[in-house]
Chain A
């Protein structure tokens, strides 16, 4: 890999970390977007956006609520997409690779979540002096460890991990990589189940069936299904109000 590309992607992972903790002025850290950007940087936007889309569906529903932690999406996406593009593997193979990296980042993040208390103690001292500007700047600075928790695994993996895996790709039998791809391609089931779990209510089950039937039997594109569902939901609630 070109060192320039490694540098750009490592900086990009830092920006994704800021976007995440500043919740989320752009939305760069979502796998769909991070995958597309990685693909563009590496000159293969098609593979990037396909892998990103699959990781998006697999990670869907994994959100940090309150103080909980989940596998981190952006670092997993950037590294996994880089790997499949660099090795020429199928985009699906990116999904099972994204998880372990995301879990590594999650563990670094747990450390940051404790360590960042440094900034609030700093702010306490500044508050004693009435230094409001100081509180503002230390608060902004507090995002840096968060962003670094993404940048460190991404940088290490791009510099050391990708070349190592590239070297063994040809040695490992092809069926291993195709099985890895298939395993990746069933993982959206997990993200969809997590979403289903959040929205499910017995009375709303017909809506799940509605979307499923339009896609499975009528092969309607997603945008069409979205629009017709808006119409249906609108109609149902209009009737209910009358």
Chain B
């Protein structure tokens, strides 16, 4: 095979980063992000393979099945760039892509979707629920710069450190980091449980004793623990998730329970 002689520049990396926003633009069940992957390499591929038959060969390689998490995807593209610049053969490139896309998807999902999105947007929601537009502004002021920087620097790191980066990412440091982020996330979930399950409140009043005295049930519950009903509802939902119920079924259950209890004047 012909060995590429082109040296990738910083401008190329930036263009690859910008094109990476389209990495799942035409997502489909058949080959998922394959077309987006090739799109992402469009700024450099003709420079790496000036001969048309090489270009066609590599275009076909990059149209093969591919699917990972869109932010950590940039690590893989970066590594791919460094490999192809050094003239790697198709099997190596194919191997790296398919070996990394699975583990990286797990990493990216847990970091971006299960951690950063909930934290940023839950924090924003706490302002939003008070009717303040600071909520969405704050959430986006965190989300936009952090994700743009992440995608850009992941490309740079992937290119610079190549495949040795894959070992670092699977190592101890990252596990610790993820655990620390989960600890932070759980604290936020705890705070949100106490504050924003608004409906978990009972208007019931009972009359007891002689002379008759009316007692608000909610006040009694608050004496045991404020937010008790909220915790009960969250833990009940968690129990259903653990039981393997589908999310749709849980949503419907919560809705029916909430609606009926509110209709009967027990909740609200």
Q: Does A139 make an interface contact (CB < 8 A)?
A: yes
Collect the chain B residues with CB atoms within 8 Å of residue A211's CB: 186-194
Collect the chain B residues with CB atoms within 8 Å of residue A180's CB: 259
Q: What per-residue 1/0 map shows which CB atoms of A126-150 lie under 8 Å from chain B?
A: 0111101101101111110010000
A127 and B60 contacting across the interface, CB-CB below 8 Å:
yes
Q: Does A11 make an interface contact (CB < 8 A)?
A: no
A21 and B42 contacting across the interface, CB-CB below 8 Å:
no
Collect the chain B residues with CB atoms within 8 Å of residue A7's CB: none
CA distance A21 to B27 in the complex (A): 8
B156-186 residues at the A interface, CB under 8 angstroms: 176, 179-180, 182-186
- Knowing A70-B247, A195-B185, say if A141 contacts B140 (CB, 8 Å): no
B268 and A71 contacting across the interface, CB-CB below 8 Å:
no
- Knowing A182-B258, A200-B186, A215-B190, say if A221 contacts B21 (CB, 8 Å): no
The contact of B196 among A25, A57, A67, A226, by CB within 8 Å, is: A57
CA distance A205 to B268 in the complex (A): 29
Q: What per-residue 1/0 map shows which CB atoms of B255-268 lie under 8 Å from chain A?
A: 11111111100011
A222 and B191 contacting across the interface, CB-CB below 8 Å:
yes
Smallest CB separation, B23 vs chain A (Å) = 7
A113-172 residues at the B interface, CB under 8 angstroms: 113-117, 119-120, 123-124, 127-130, 132-133, 135-136, 138-143, 146
Q: Does B135 make an interface contact (CB < 8 A)?
A: yes
B191 and A63 contacting across the interface, CB-CB below 8 Å:
no
Smallest CB separation, B6 vs chain A (Å) = 15
Collect the chain B residues with CB atoms within 8 Å of residue A128's CB: 56
A141 and B179 contacting across the interface, CB-CB below 8 Å:
no
CA distance A116 to B35 in the complex (A): 11
A132 and B46 contacting across the interface, CB-CB below 8 Å:
yes
CA distance A205 to B189 in the complex (A): 11
Q: Does B204 make an interface contact (CB < 8 A)?
A: no
Q: Does A94 make an interface contact (CB < 8 A)?
A: no
Would you call the interface of chain A mostly helix, strand, loop, or mixed?
helix
Q: What per-residue 1/0 map shows which CB atoms of A210-238 lie under 8 Å from chain B?
A: 11111111001111011001101100110
Smallest CB separation, B151 vs chain A (Å) = 9
A194 and B247 contacting across the interface, CB-CB below 8 Å:
yes
The contact of B186 among A21, A56, A196, by CB within 8 Å, is: A196
The contact of A204 among B71, B119, B135, B186, by CB within 8 Å, is: B186
A142 and B27 contacting across the interface, CB-CB below 8 Å:
yes
A66 and B105 contacting across the interface, CB-CB below 8 Å:
yes
Smallest CB separation, A47 vs chain B (Å) = 8
A142 and B190 contacting across the interface, CB-CB below 8 Å:
no
- Interchain residue pairs with CB less than 8 A apart (14): A32-B136, A35-B128, A50-B129, A53-B196, A56-B121, A65-B105, A66-B67, A103-B248, A179-B259, A195-B185, A211-B187, A212-B227, A215-B193, A216-B227
